[in-house]
Amino acid sequence: MKVHEYTKIEIKLGLKSRNAGDRLSWFEHEGVVIVRTKRSHGNKDLPEHLIRQQLKLNERQFSDLIDCPLTREGYIEILTTKGLIKPPSFQGTFADCGHTRAIPLQHSASDNHAHCFLCHPELRNRPIPGRCPSCRAATIPPVVGVPSPKRKP
Q: Render pLDDT for 67-90 as a digit per residue (tens, 0 to 9).
A: 888 999 999 999 988 989 887 888
Whole-number pLDDT of residue 62:
92
Integer angstrom CA distances of residue 124 from 33, 93, 105, 114, 137: 29, 9, 10, 13, 24
24-60 core/surface letters (b: 16 or more CB in 10 A; e: else): ebebebeeeebbebebeeeeeebebeebbebbbbeee
Q: pLDDT at residue 61 above 70? A: yes
pTM of the model: 0.60
Sign of CA dihedral 85, 91, 92, 94: positive
* Pairing verdict, β 23-29 and 32-39: antiparallel
Whole-number pLDDT of residue 149:
56
- Single-letter residue type at 7: T
Give, in degrees to the nearest 5, the angle at Cα 65 between 21 and 45.
Answer: 40
147 pLDDT tier (thresholds 50, 70, 90): low
Q: pLDDT at residue 66 above 60? A: yes
Whole-number pLDDT of residue 106:
72
Percentage of the chain modeled with pLDDT above 90: 28
39 pLDDT tier (thresholds 50, 70, 90): confident
